Structures are given as structure tokens and as C-alpha cells.
Structure 1
Amino acid sequence: MFHLRPLIITVTSAIVAAIIGVLIIIPAIRDIRNLNARIHTQRQALEMLYQRGQNIRTSSAEYENVKKDIPLITSSFLTLGNELEFITALEAAAAEIGVQQTINLDTAQNAPAEGAPPESVSRRVLLRLDLEGTFAQLIPYLQELEAMRPYINILTIYVANASRSSLLNTSPSDEETLSYAPLLKISLTAATYWRPSSLKP
């Protein structure tokens, strides 16, 4: 009888320990693992948020750096629908200097693709100018063209009937020299950039 009591106590203790292990320790271990997984997931989410914050700060700094250039970029575009205004400005510049000019503005080129809303697409439009005048007239005209507010990117330029080197110092105000100066013909192709009026600032 006395020999059975320690055995009963041992068996009972083992059973109680097993019950405690099943009911308390194993669920606690499972909860700890789940908590660890949630902490890991939240840490990854925080790292992503931190990285996004860094990206936002970097983007904001980059925007501040280019912000001053936005008016210049904006003024480089012409507005679709104002083609006549642009052509009139070219004609006025040529008339003021005395250059004969033929303008071909190919606004039908690079039309928006089928299905694309035309009011949301900026376009590159080719401009061809055929000019005739003296060297002393054409150089100021080309300088005027370069100084115009919209960006005109000259792609090709062809000059015919090259003048003598003595004309390099000809002044447009010297009418006597100008009347005897040989004429030059220039054909140039340039790219102009147009945006819809809906995008006008």
C-alpha cells in the first residue's frame, strides 16, 4: 500500500503536467508564434511606410528644385487652336525685317491615336519655313525665331545661293549695300510643341 502511494503521486503529477501542457503551455506557445508573426508583418509594413515617406520627401525636394523651371517649360508650348496667332507672329517678324516667307504648319501630323481623347494629348508639330532675303536680313530673322517664347527646335536647314564673304558685315540699315546684296534662300524644318487648350495653365 505504501509502495503504491509514490507511484500514484507520480502518475497523477504526470497527468496533471500533461493536462497543463495541453491546456496552457501549447496554446501559449502558439499565441507567442502568432504574435511574433504579427510583429514581423507590422515591422515590414512600418518599413514600407518609412520608405514611402522617404520617397515622398525625396520627390518633394526634387519638385522644389525644378519648380522654378515650370514657367519656362510651360511657355515653351503653343496652344492648339491658336495656330493663326503663331503664324501671325512669324509673319510680323518676317515683315519687320523684310524677309519673304512661306509657312507650312502641319497641324494634322501626329494627331491623337484613335480612341485617345484629343484634349489630353500634347503634340509635336512640324513647321517648314521657306525664306528669301539677304544674309543681313536672314540672320536677324533667325535670331528672332530663336528668341520667340514658344520653343522652336530647328531640325534641318538648307541654304541656297551662298553669299560672298564681303556680305558678312552688311548692316540692314545700309540700304544702298542691301539693294545690291544677292538673295539667299533658306528652307528649314523645325519641331514645335503644342498642348490642348484644356491643359493651359
Structure 2
Amino acid sequence: MMANASQRIIKKYANRRLYDTQDSRYITQDKIKEYVFSGISFRVVEDKTGADVTRAVLLHVILEEEIMGVPLFTEEALRSIILFSGSGMRSSFSGFLEQMLPVLLQNQLQEPPFMAGMPGQDRIRDQFATLQGMLLGNSFQEYVNSSVKMMEDVNREIMASASRMMQPPAGGEEAETPPPPPKRAAPPRRRRKKGG
């Protein structure tokens, strides 16, 4: 993938060191995390081949967080991700995450309208974010549960529709034969005269 002009290029060397070409210095994975949190666009490329390894570096940042910090994923969630990655549902799962994560982030980061122009806005925003985080814990789980239920309902409906389409028409294997057309009335018979 080509980098755009405003995108930082980070070179990854064989010894796993990362070099920020814009700042002309070596950086750590913590700096990569900082770039993500700051919304700085970047691309990581291998020094020798020029291959884009951004995804691998981002996955490594997540892995380090999982090992060293407070895990984002439960063991069960990780098992489910592995199951999805090896199934035909891979693209559906990926699409679901790509659509849901921005919505969750937007809800998490959105400033409440009542705070616009208030004195001490930064302090209030921080307190609100803390409170929102505490409250969002349960609502996030409820949101996930309702999303899962909705997907299960949709899947059940698709399976039921497919099952109905595969069933033969009511009354057996063959469709009902239409009734025969009505018979025409026979022309009236003429009577013969006697004796003539």
C-alpha cells in the first residue's frame, strides 16, 4: 500500500528496531501506541524489502498490552477469534468489528454537548470521561450482548428462510395438478318422428 504525503513512514529493521523517518530517530512500540492515540497516520515498512508490516507491528503492540498490561481480551474471546479466523465467517466477523469499533470509539470519545464553553471544561471533561468509563463498562457488555443476539436472530431467520425454500410444496413431492377443464354440454339430441 502506498503512503500518502502526510503519513509518517516508520522503517523496521532486521533487528526489530523501528526508525521514524520524519523525526530521524529510533522509536519504541510505546511511541507507536502514542501515534495511534494521537491520531497520527503512519505506515511501517521493512527496510530491505519495503513490504508493509503495519498490521504486524500493531498486532505486536496489542500482544504486549495483553501480556504486560490489563488484558483487553478474555481467553474465551481469543478462542472465538481463532475460530472465526479459520472459518467461512472470517469476512463477516471482520466486517462486524470494522463497523462496530468506530461506533464504540465515537460514543466513548464524544464530548457531551452541555460542556461546550463551560469554565473548567478540561477538568469536567476528564471527570465525565472517568464516570462514563465506569458506567460504560456495563452498557458496553449489554451492547455487545444485544449485538450478538441480533446476529443470532438474523442467522436463525436466514436458516429458516433457506429451509422453507428447500422444502417441497405442501401435499407431497409433486405440485397439485390443476382440476380438469369443465366439460361442454352435449348438443341436444333430435327426436325422430314416427312413421315417416
- The TM-score normalised by the length of structure 1 is 0.23
**Structure possessing the higher relative contact order (Cα contacts under 8 Å, 6 or more residues apart):** 1
Higher gyration radius (CA): 1
The two structures have a TM-score, normalised by structure 2, of: 0.23
